[in-house]
Structure 1
Amino acid sequence: MNPQVSKETKVLVVDDQVLAKGYMKYSLEELGFSNITYVDKAQHAINKIRHEHYDLIICSYNLKKDHDGYHLYDQLKHNGELEPSTAFIFISADTTSDLVHSIVELQPDDFLAKPFTVNDLDKRLTKVLLRKRALKKVYRFMGKGQLSKALVEVELFLSIPKNSEFFPLALKTKGELLLACGHHDQAKEFYQAIINVQPFTWAQLGLVNAHIRLNEDDDAEKLVLELAFKSDSQLAAYDLLSALQIKQKDFEAALECVVMATEISPRNIRRHKTALDLSRITHDYETQFEAAKKIVRFAKDSIHDKPENYLNVARAGIDFAMTADESETYKLLKQANEYVKQFKTAFPKAELHDQIKVIDARLLYLQDEKENAKALLDQLAEENWELESMDALLDKAKAFHELGLYEKSSQIMDVIEQRCKKDDKQGGLFLHYVRQEKQERSTIKQTPKELNNSAVAFYRRGDLEDALRVFRQAFTVMPKNLSIALNLLQAITMNENTDKNDISIQRLIDNCIKVIENGELNDEQFERYQKVRELLHETA
């Protein structure tokens, strides 16, 4: 270690293990570092970083006392509290696949696996600190938000041959700055030129980003699909691909990509929230429920740990129960109640009484206690919708709609939509979902189970036209339900007035078949399905 570098470097060590902290102290002092601050909690680290500049932060990934290292770094990056000139290094004894993917995704300056020697630490710190010092002028402008000046500075840096050791990092930084400054055509040309010399993964991902921003979707998709099969770019590729699919409103495909990404790196809360929003749009109630549960699990002891997370699991469980078979309903309601209990234990001082009443009312409705459910809603405080969260309002709108109070439900949905337009934090997916809900609830008054029961009644009476109409409505709000898909397919087949060659009907038939063949049929359903397929074949 260069003595001058170590002497001028201000260090913050975040670790709550006494032995590990002692060894780190010994190692750093052996390398000549003297300006070192030690903290054992993430919150203490945040307070220090907010008031002082550090050149180097060495953080244990596995903090036990409060937020772990992952969420500390995630918070610092998300809030823009970590200066670009500060080097951030994770240390951990755990090197499992999930952890490594999580760390790689956050892109710290380095990751050092325990145990390590003083020599190991020397090599890593020397490399990282020299990089930061070499590009300090660029980072200074970036830290001030002066991106155009940072771009000029990095181009000047690249024009000096003696800086060649740091050209790869400088080139990567230049591409990011071109995109951040909105120079998308230049970024495209730049990344393509880099790839022509050497196909760096970062350059290929940057090129995909440039294609997307230039609305060159076909080019973006072709390249990103190739990157999705490579281990070093898979996670970033899934994110870009899902962003592209969301842009194209292919929400089913986007959800599939996001779910695959969450399996690779499960700790990213924002990705689980995207999965939650997409599953709402696609009426995938099971995935919505699972995403809500994962948010609670991975947000625990982090900046993302909030009372609403637990209530959202209960709400998602109720949504799922509304569409599930009766054999599953009791289990789902039990789980919903369990998360309400967890909320009360984790946040005993949280005053969300009205939200609990709404959840209880929906639970009562599912148990055919409509009058008791209405009585609970009557106890709600006077309308203070502007003060309630979006999720709380959404749940309230659903409760009123389920109990037949359509005008009240519609008023709340209007409030949600208007607030979405003003609140950029909600994002386009949530607004899309709200508008979709408004449209569906204005035309479909019955709940999912009521729709199915009503359609079956029409079918048994021989009223195939009304049966087909109501089954189509049921399939709109329950597109993953195997029983609904089979009933709808049977109604289409039996109705002689239905034009099987109509494009929309053919698409509906294809969607029904896809759901049925991806599910598990019981003996009765399998026999019905075979007969329906035979009839379809005869009329083809």
Structure 2
Amino acid sequence: MLSGLDYRDKTFLVIDDQRPFQLMLKGILINLGARLVSLAATGEAAIQAAKERQFDFLLIDYNLGARRKNGRQLIEELRERELLKSDCITIMVTGENHRPMVLGAVEMQPDDYLMKPFSQNLLKLRLEKAYKKRWELRNVFAAMMAKDHAKAITECKRLIELNSRYKNYCNNLLAELLCNAGMYDKAEYILKKLLAQKPYTWGQIQLARTYYHQERYHEAAKLANGVMLQSPLLIDAYDLASKSLLKLGHLNRSLEIAIKATELSPYSISRQYQLCEVARKAEMHEIVKDACHNVLEMTRKSVHQSSVHLYNYIRAAITAAEHAEGNHERNKLKQEISLAIQRSKNDEVQENKQEFTVFESFCQARLDIMDKQLLSAKKQLYKVQKQCLESDEGKVPEELVLDAINVMYNIGEFDLADELLASSNINSHQNTFITANLAYLKKESEETQKNFYHYNQEGIEAYKDKNYQEAVYKFDLALTQAPMHTGGTLNLILAILKLIENTDKRPEDLTKRLKLAFSTLDDVDLPESQQTRYQELQKQYQVFFPAKK
């Protein structure tokens, strides 16, 4: 059994942007016997230091300067990049007592959290307490870092059988490991046995999580709700309750709890995107937009900084504008969108300028659709798609497939959308916001697609039967569902020309309809097969309507 902490051979890294506090903390550690104390003033400097040597202890301030990584982001990145030993101890040291920041920091699960000011004796107590726990659980943490879950489970069971002082922690971890391995029944058995002895809050949360994995959403929601009442600051309970209620179809209550969770502890990407999912289903698009903006801002300077979050925010803002109730609100959102796009051109979050130019074009097409400028949107779509096909990548960038699909569905180019979906990996995208929005777009356009293909097929059958008037009527009906569908438009033009050929009449309304159909294809960068068909129909048109000399 470990008798105590010998500071002399341990390495410490103090990360604080205030030089006086760095020196004070270094002095305390030296007084305790430490010999190897390094200092860093920023998160970036700490990461570099962690690359150069492995530390036993990290003492991290939460606030590390404006426009810099904060302590929470630093811990997250060090773990993500595997720059910490499995037995490294992280202590969050801060004067920050703002509840959302405190809860956000605690959710990163540092070994301890110390509020400034504190005494040397308190620091000594906390360091030694954390060290004893890490030492006794060292084999568990080593197995988890090596992603050897079977060994981690075995080590947890061994410590439980030895009646370790960290038995409860091991039971909680064991249940979590069993769930991660898909062994939900075993996790449930262990947790119910423990809870029969004492109603541990952590045990109830873990059991609720197990129920959720087992798709027993009613039991999960009930248990999580009970924990919320007992421990109003235990954020996991809110997350589980919201997710379970959403599965049960209790949309309003799920949204209410999701909003409360993000108010209590907003610094979680998964929590903000969970709010997005619930709010989108509730058609609260402003909430979706704000949550996406929160993700964008919280991931700046973090290991999760990505243009995906920037795109999601602008996408959500356009969707909010599309669903705005009045012109004033819509125009306000359009201004926000325009400003966001302009600022993003020089934003460090934007990783690929060429890709962003394509994204901007798709956004403009969506704005054109909002303004009923469908032809302009169609020209924009085909132009940018041609540019993508001629690029080195030879296709629409994977991150922007959602935007292309959105435009295609909204102007009625369903065949084009199906081709793009078949050639992309968007259905398995890691970002849940993207996959959820794709599913939403598909569902939203289901009825329209069904009607279009129904009328279009009836038009084809009528054309085959040489009932050209009926064919024109059916193709026209199809285009009321998808006004810019290229194949449907070409079918309509062909049917009208055949009708004129067979009746030798050129009624004014039919002539106007023919010209209007051609206008939706003029100056559009069509694919080769459709361009060829379009040109052939133009020649037939010239036979009936020769150009005036």
TM above 0.5, yes or no, is yes
The 3-state SS of whatever aligns with 2:68 is coil
Q: CA deviation at 1:335?
A: 0.7
Q: Percent identity?
A: 22
Q: Tell me the distance in 2 between the aligned counterparts of 1:254 and 1:83.
A: 39
**Structure 2: tracts of 5 or more residues without a match:** 451-480, 482-549
1:392-420, CA deviations, whole angstroms, 9 ceiling, x for partnerless residues? 2222222234344443344334455x532
1:399-450, CA deviations, whole angstroms, 9 ceiling, x for partnerless residues? 234344443344334455x5324x4x245x754542342232242379xxxx
Aligned amino acid, residue 295 of structure 2: I
Q: Tell me the distance in 2 between the aligned counterparts of 1:130 and 1:207.
A: 28
Is the Cα contact below 8 Å between 1:67 and 1:303 reproduced in 2?
A: no
Aligned amino acid, residue 24 of structure 1: L
1:65-464 equivalent positions in 2, closer than 5 A? 66-78=68-80, 82-160=84-162, 163-164=164-165, 166-231=166-231, 234-245=234-245, 247-248=247-248, 253-324=253-324, 325-347=326-348, 350-351=352-353, 352-380=356-384, 381-383=387-389, 388-390=397-399, 392-415=400-423, 418-421=425-428, 423=429, 425-427=430-432, 430-444=434-448
Q: CA deviation at 1:177?
A: 3.3
Is the Cα contact below 8 Å between 2:205 and 2:237 reproduced in 1?
A: yes
Shifted more, 285-294 versus 396-405: the winner is 396-405
The 3-state SS of whatever aligns with 2:13 is strand
Aligned amino acid, residue 107 of structure 1: Q
Is the Cα contact below 8 Å between 2:54 and 2:83 reproduced in 1?
A: no
The 3-state SS of whatever aligns with 2:54 is coil
Partner of 2:517: none
Shifted more, 399-408 versus 30-39: the winner is 399-408
Aligned amino acid, residue 69 of structure 1: G
Pair 405,80 (structure 1): closer, same or farther in 2 beyond 3 Å:
same
Q: CA deviation at 1:27?
A: 1.1
Aligned amino acid, residue 397 of structure 1: I
Q: CA deviation at 1:294?
A: 1.5
- Indicate the RMSD between aligned Cα atoms, in angstroms: 3.1
1:237-282, CA deviations, whole angstroms, 9 ceiling, x for partnerless residues? 1112233345556666544433221111111122212323444444
Q: Tell me the distance in 2 between the aligned counterparts of 1:181 and 1:265.
A: 28
Pair 199,330 (structure 1): closer, same or farther in 2 beyond 3 Å:
same
1:161-183, CA deviations, whole angstroms, 9 ceiling, x for partnerless residues? 6x43x334334333333434444
Shifted more, 246-255 versus 308-317: the winner is 246-255
Partner of 2:464: none
Which of these two proteins has the greater Rg computed from alpha carbons? Answer: 2
Q: Tell me the distance in 1 between the aligned counterparts of 2:314 and 2:447.
A: 26
Partner of 1:536: none
Q: CA deviation at 1:191?
A: 1.8
Matched, 1:27 2:31: no
Q: Tell me the distance in 2 between the aligned counterparts of 1:315 and 1:175.
A: 39
**Structure 1: tracts of 5 or more residues without a match:** 447-472, 474-540
Is the Cα contact below 8 Å between 2:228 and 2:238 reproduced in 1?
A: yes
Is the Cα contact below 8 Å between 1:311 and 1:343 reproduced in 2?
A: no
Shifted more, 336-345 versus 136-145: the winner is 136-145
Q: Tell me the distance in 2 between the aligned counterparts of 1:82 and 1:121.
A: 21
The 3-state SS of whatever aligns with 1:228 is helix
Pair 319,138 (structure 1): closer, same or farther in 2 beyond 3 Å:
closer
Aligned amino acid, residue 367 of structure 2: L
Is the Cα contact below 8 Å between 1:27 and 1:118 reproduced in 2?
A: yes
Is the Cα contact below 8 Å between 1:13 and 1:38 reproduced in 2?
A: yes
Partner of 1:54: 55
Partner of 1:14: 15
1:12-62, CA deviations, whole angstroms, 9 ceiling, x for partnerless residues? 222222111111111111111122232223233334445643222111111
Aligned amino acid, residue 190 of structure 1: I
Q: TM-score, normalised by structure 1?
A: 0.73
1:188-230, CA deviations, whole angstroms, 9 ceiling, x for partnerless residues? 2322232233322111111212223334333322211101223
Shifted more, 94-103 versus 132-141: the winner is 132-141
Pair 122,284 (structure 1): closer, same or farther in 2 beyond 3 Å:
same
Q: Tell me the distance in 2 between the aligned counterparts of 1:339 and 1:17.
A: 34
Pair 323,10 (structure 1): closer, same or farther in 2 beyond 3 Å:
same
1:60-112, CA deviations, whole angstroms, 9 ceiling, x for partnerless residues? 11112621111122234456654442211111111111112112222211111
Across the two proteins, how many residue pairs are aligned to each other?
440
Q: Tell me the distance in 1 between the aligned counterparts of 2:60 and 2:142.
A: 23
Q: TM-score, normalised by structure 2?
A: 0.72
Pair 362,174 (structure 1): closer, same or farther in 2 beyond 3 Å:
closer
Aligned amino acid, residue 388 of structure 2: E
Is the Cα contact below 8 Å between 2:238 and 2:261 reproduced in 1?
A: yes
The 3-state SS of whatever aligns with 2:346 is helix
Pair 143,312 (structure 1): closer, same or farther in 2 beyond 3 Å:
closer
Partner of 2:39: 38
1:300-348, CA deviations, whole angstroms, 9 ceiling, x for partnerless residues? 3323333343343332222122221222111110011111122123237
Aligned amino acid, residue 23 of structure 1: M
Q: Tell me the distance in 1 between the aligned counterparts of 2:125 and 2:17.
A: 24
Pair 311,265 (structure 1): closer, same or farther in 2 beyond 3 Å:
same
Is the Cα contact below 8 Å between 2:91 and 2:114 reproduced in 1?
A: yes
Matched, 1:5 2:9: no
Is the Cα contact below 8 Å between 1:311 and 1:339 reproduced in 2?
A: no
Is the Cα contact below 8 Å between 2:58 and 2:89 reproduced in 1?
A: yes
Q: Tell me the distance in 2 between the aligned counterparts of 1:67 and 1:265.
A: 18
Partner of 1:510: none
